[in-house]
Structure 1
Amino acid sequence: MDKYLKLTMEFLNEIGITVRLVPGATGFAQHCEISAGSINVDPRCRASALLHEAGHLATVPQQYRHFFSGNVGAGQRAVFNAVSDIDVFPGSPLDRAVVQIGDGEATAWGWAAGMEIGIPESRIIRDDEYSGEGALIRLGLKTNNYLGINGLANAGFCKVKTHHPSNLPAYPCLAYWVHPVLDASGDNLNG
């Protein structure tokens, strides 16, 4: 097993995203499978793939994480349906959180987590990933010119620039690693 995969697994388990070593696991990302809000990884999994898949789970308010199994799109639809069934004020923290659970936010989250863990930039996002645009994606993330960063900021994880008037940390630092449980009013039920 790659040392960066091991470090990533340890980090994710520490922050509350369950990751299990399951030989043969595979999903949308090779050797990495989201299963009922947790992640199964084969020892051959790249840390970059695990970081991205974990980003999908980390950006979802915790009470909806269990909707994610296999197909991320199906999990996103289940979250949208669940939130539409309750009275959520437009623009509330819960409303903003569920709008920001896309691929861009998962990528930006994975970059921030990889930086926190101490993984080399070229191993957080590899050149051959994102249809061969990995180097360009890295450049956008390093220069705060990537759409997913704005999504994380809108969801309350961070602010985009250091001069922005907010008490939140500036990206790539995050205020929290996993989105807390939010009620319909947007109150954080984790404390």
Structure 2
Amino acid sequence: MNFYKTNICANMETITDDYLSALSNRVGAALLSSGLRLAVAESCSGGWISQCVTETAGSSAWFECGFVTYSNAAKQTMLGVPAALLSAYGAVSAEVVVSMTEGALERSGADWALAVSGIAGPSGGSPEKPVGTVWIAWQRRNEAARVLHFTGSGDRHDIRAQTVVQALEGLLAYLTG
């Protein structure tokens, strides 16, 4: 697993519906030009990433499916995340988002999976994992996952929006980089 951390988040003034649409279009074009398909496993974003990509006309050519696994039980049932991982590391961890991408790839025909899990607030944080803590994983089938930890800022909406942007921008970077 390749891992990196950033405290750099998208400026909330730049996260508009038009920006998300353009970002999704770029992701879709990159996937389509390579003949690849995407699966998404979402927790804190609650389906927002899937909604963004399905707003893109023609996304059925490159978007396989989305799993909204908000609870630990859903992560286990829908994606096969081991209870032992959730117990040892918590749902908001590198280990769990990697397990989520692995489960999404295993349960779909997708070539790429991305997964997000975080604490959007306003409650639920701890000293070890404060509100704004987010983990994202990207994984291409038969390759090691890449993982990002970032600390979002602002209110619940802001943190979730930053998560969507980080997830899609990260995927685009891997697809085009």
TM-score (norm 1): 0.26
Query: Could you say which structure has the higher strand fraction?
Result: 2
